[in-house]
């Protein structure tokens, strides 16, 4: 059972490393073929990919951040993510 962190943003990588969570794999792009039942996937995936993670019986945690309008498209630091209440929220997503 592996823990995957999916992000291309250095601030998000720095933030998760400050949370005391063991991460086995840091990757910029999700390869669904690598995910196995029992794995944990953490990141900000599009809903259809998050659903496919859950379909594989892996856990999905969404990195939730309240990004202000003027920050959209900018790189946030770990400190900015913390200040804006970044948190991990578990979801089980299923296509109906």
pTM beyond 0.75, yes or no: yes
51-69 exposure pattern, b = at least 16 Cβ within 10 A, e = fewer: bbbbebebbbbbbebeeee
> Alpha-carbon distance 92 to 53, whole Å?
9
| pLDDT per residue of the chain (96 residues) written in tens, 0 to 9 | 999 999 999 999 999 999 999 999 999 999 999 999 999 999 999 999 999 999 999 999 999 998 888 888 888 999 999 999 999 999 999 988
**Terminal-residue alpha carbon distance, the chain:** 27
For residues 5 and 43, the answer to whether their CB atoms sit within 8 Å is: yes
Question: Percent of the chain beyond pLDDT 90?
Answer: 88
């Amino acid at each position: 059972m592996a823990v995957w962190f999916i992000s291309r943003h250095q601030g998000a990588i720095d933030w998760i490393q400050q949370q005391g969570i063991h991460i086995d794999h840091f990757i910029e792009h999700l390869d669904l073929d690598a995910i196995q039942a029992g794995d944990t996937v953490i990141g900000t995936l599009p809903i259809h990919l998050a659903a496919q993670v859950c379909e594989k019986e892996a856990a999905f945690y969404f990195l939730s951040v309240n990004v202000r309008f003027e920050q959209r498209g900018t790189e946030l630091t770990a400190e900015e993510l913390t200040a804006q209440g970044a948190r991990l929220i578990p979801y089980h997503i299923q296509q109906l």
